[in-house]
Structure 1
Amino acid sequence: MGLAACAAPSAPELLTADGIERASADRAAYPDELAMFRTSALRLGDALLASEEGNVIASPGSLLIALAMLRAGASGEAAAEMDAVLGLPEADRDEAMNALLASLEEYDGDPGSVDEDNPPAKPLVHTANGLFVDRDVPTGRGYLETLAKHYGTGVHPVDFRDQAVTAPAIDAWVNKNTGGRIEKAPAPYDPNNTFSLLNSVYFAAAWDIPFDAEATSDEPFATADGTVDVPMMHGLQEMAYAEGPGWQAVDLPYGEGFVMRLVLPAKDSDGGAGTLNADRLAEVALALEAADPEDVDLALPTWDHKSHFDVRAILEQLGLQKTLSTTSDFDTIQPGLVITQAAQDANITVAEKGTVAAAVTQINGMATSVRPEPARSISFDRPFHYQIVHVGTGLPLFMGKIADPR
């Protein structure tokens, strides 16, 4: 594959394309592409939230990055379908994603170093891209170069049939890159896979102005099934505020660089938060970005939630039919690659001092063209017969049977 090895603690050997360095990227050069990414992420988030009832936490950003990595190896009808359905840029897509990732990397750090009871004043945002491939299946040179140049990663060659080794290796990657908030890969392990693409996002940040824990008290919260009492935080501080037909919204700031965008549907809204589709949320974003900060007396509950998504089913509903069925349009990645699974796990904790959240998106596939059959194996682990035979004559000089070899 023309690969060079470099160290990757707690994971199998990481192989990257020879002579390819991460390209420098300036997000100012890609305003249109980044706007398309935001629109795409809102659509993906809308689909994720609509797939589950009740409390839901998802990471459209993680899913978008994972899909962009998959798109980097697509061709033909699948490539065209992904661009059309997901609204991805047709040109400079990988370059713009590199710029997006580089912007997030300004806040990079080790999730394992975070005291989650006291989130850091400067937000810590750790994103990671991982790709586990079967060592018996060739990975396309061009795809490896794209991963190295624009996504800052290579591949981990493993033996997917050796579940006892490979499943823990993938889980260790997930655990490490989410600071232990997610311990296992979201998709069920399948030894027939030859390809597992992962993206993780970890976020930890203190509020710019923390809530006073003494001001938190149990207060009523109207659910679809009636009113319940929940811990409610209170604070008066300056933040962006906007409102529109059927909604109010604020951007609650963290220490720097990030806000928690909170959008409240009108009381007479039949669908509650479900009325906030991607188009409406884009409208909210524009309004808040144009708003001047003002003093807001905010009441906000604490919460600690987690969600799991069958992303493959969601992508199918969005219209990625060819992408999920083709056995030829991902040949750039692996010969005959077909997408078998896609899943996401996400969780979040919101309290008086700040927020901690993590997500992992996994897209798995299987090469259908070239994976060799395993070497034939036999284990004499039960009673058996034996002979000592003279080859020239076929004469069995000795013959026996083993019932217990002790």
Structure 2
Amino acid sequence: MGDVIAAQNRFGLDLYRRLAASTPDETVFISPLSIHVALTMAYNGAAGITAEEMGQVLQLGDLSRDGLNTAVRELLERYGAEDLGARLNVANALWYSQELTFYQEYIERMEEFYLATVSPLSFKSPGSETIVNDWVSRQTEGLIPVLFDSLDPETVMLIVNAVYFKGEWSEPFDPAITQPRPFHLPTGDVKQVPMMYKSGQVDYYQAEEFQAIRLPYGDEKRLAMYIFLPAEDRSLNEFAASLTYEDWQTWTAGFRSRLGQVWLPRVEISYKTRLAATLQALGMAAAFDPGRADFGEIHEPAPGQNVYISDVTHQAVLKVDEEGTEAAAATSVDFAVTSLPAYEFEFVADRPFFVAIRDEETGAVLFLGSVFDPAA
């Protein structure tokens, strides 16, 4: 399972860097786990150059498909059965055109190893998007009610991912002392945001180019949020462009408990993106090309018909607060400068920051992204 988690993390950071570079100064929030799992569903039916390119982009290395599938199932079952101290819903689905005959073996493999909903769908029929939207809405408990306004009638395969996460801190922030404080946007504008505050022992890491904190979720502390705040003379765009898997491994191993003060805004993010162009730019070109795609292990040969991936749509929702947002908002905390010398560090997330949520036991990065506006 470790090889698959490493592949997911490497792929996730590659994808994040590409998305962040294509939309500088804009929030990006993705689930490497969810996207990687859905794409490996398609990879299972690929052959030739299509499979080769997908394997390279997905960082699969020498992993066999049997080994990959078994590890993915183990990971998904692990998250579905265990108490993570947080609420985590991951929805994966694949729809295919009713005009083709798909191999039953492939469908059964997707259901068995990927716990996936695999369904035929007539993309030419009016209202086909309703079927997809209803499925996503059910999986996310209504948090993502509409993923598609419409579907391209020429679509022959569609992969959809929808992710929702909400965690309760192991040591909650006190909502009574949350108060409006300025947050500096990349445009130079300043907006007032609800800023949470806590002091005490916090896992902390500092380098020349950033400072970072780790905040665990739940009693088990199995999942944790990592927040990296670039130095004031360095932008979040620069941080994103230079972030590597090797850096990530080194940094996450370097956190130590320190006595400090933390100011962190409430965060509510909904991020939606279509990934076809980005995945092609990373090297997964043939899979999206109707003339070159080879998914011969998915469907029976049919003259003049060929399966290709039309698009990959991903939406992720993240909400973090201090647990009890509405309580005693009028009470404030004293931020007097005279109290600071007792602390080893001060972490003030009043400007764009990088965030990630990681499984501390397996090392899997479940979510990561850039937050340029915490209320975007």
DSSP 3-state at the match of 1:163: coil
Query: Aligned partners of 1:214 and 1:145: how far apart in 2?
Result: 52
DSSP 3-state at the match of 1:353: coil
Matches within 5 A, 1:158-197: 158-164=121-127, 166-186=128-148, 188-197=150-159
DSSP 3-state at the match of 2:112: helix
Q: 1:60 aligns with which of 12, 32, 52?
A: 32
Identity of aligned residues (%): 28
The verdict on how the C-alpha distance between 1:204 and 1:222 changes in structure 2, with shifts beyond 3 A counting, is closer
* Contact 1:249–1:284 (Cα < 8 Å) also in 2: no
Matches within 5 A, 1:120-199: 122-164=85-127, 166-186=128-148, 188-199=150-161
DSSP 3-state at the match of 2:36: helix
* Contact 1:46–1:277 (Cα < 8 Å) also in 2: yes
Q: Identify the residue that residue 350 of structure 1 maps to in structure 2.
A: 320
Q: Identify the residue that residue 10 of structure 1 maps to in structure 2.
A: none
Q: Identify the residue that residue 88 of structure 1 maps to in structure 2.
A: 60
- Per the TM alignment, residue 285 of structure 1 is displaced from its structure 2 partner at its CA by 4.2
Tell me the alpha carbon deviations over residues 312-352 of structure 1, each in whole angstroms, 9 at most, x when there is no partner. 11112212222221544112223511222222223322222
Query: Aligned partners of 2:241 and 2:87: how far apart in 1?
Result: 29
Q: Identify the residue that residue 117 of structure 1 maps to in structure 2.
A: none
DSSP 3-state at the match of 2:276: helix
Residue 239 of structure 1 pairs with residue 202 of structure 2: yes
Query: Aligned partners of 2:142 and 2:242: how far apart in 1?
Result: 31
Residue 264 of structure 1 pairs with residue 236 of structure 2: no
Query: Aligned partners of 1:139 and 1:239: how far apart in 2?
Result: 53
Matches within 5 A, 1:359-398: none
Q: 2:173 aligns with which of 205, 211, 216?
A: 211
Matches within 5 A, 1:61-76: 61-76=33-48
The verdict on how the C-alpha distance between 1:328 and 1:230 changes in structure 2, with shifts beyond 3 A counting, is closer
Query: Aligned partners of 1:97 and 1:281: how far apart in 2?
Result: 20
Matched to 1:180, the amino acid is G
Residue 51 of structure 1 pairs with residue 22 of structure 2: yes
* Contact 2:286–2:292 (Cα < 8 Å) also in 1: no
Query: Aligned partners of 2:19 and 2:324: how far apart in 1?
Result: 24
* Contact 1:241–1:294 (Cα < 8 Å) also in 2: yes
DSSP 3-state at the match of 2:203: strand
* Contact 2:10–2:245 (Cα < 8 Å) also in 1: no
DSSP 3-state at the match of 1:193: coil
Tell me the alpha carbon deviations over residues 273-316 of structure 1, each in whole angstroms, 9 at most, x when there is no partner. 54234744642443233433333321101132222222111112
Matched to 1:144, the amino acid is I
State TM-score, norm by structure 2.
0.75
The verdict on how the C-alpha distance between 1:79 and 1:156 changes in structure 2, with shifts beyond 3 A counting, is same
Count of residues paired in the alignment: 315
State TM-score, norm by structure 1.
0.70
Query: Aligned partners of 2:56 and 2:245: how far apart in 1?
Result: 21
Q: 2:213 aligns with which of 234, 247, 250?
A: 250
Q: Which stretch shifts more, 132-141 or 254-263?
A: 132-141
Bigger relative contact order, structure 1 or 2, given CA contacts below 8 A and separation 6+? 2
Query: Aligned partners of 1:186 and 1:107: how far apart in 2?
Result: 32
Q: Identify the residue that residue 11 of structure 1 maps to in structure 2.
A: none
* Contact 1:186–1:345 (Cα < 8 Å) also in 2: no
Specify the structure having the higher radius of gyration (Cα).
Answer: 1
Matched to 2:20, the amino acid is L
Q: 2:74 aligns with which of 86, 96, 99?
A: 99
- Per the TM alignment, residue 153 of structure 1 is displaced from its structure 2 partner at its CA by 2.9
Q: Which stretch shifts more, 314-323 or 169-178?
A: 314-323
* Contact 1:249–1:288 (Cα < 8 Å) also in 2: no
Q: Which stretch shifts more, 67-76 or 86-95?
A: 86-95
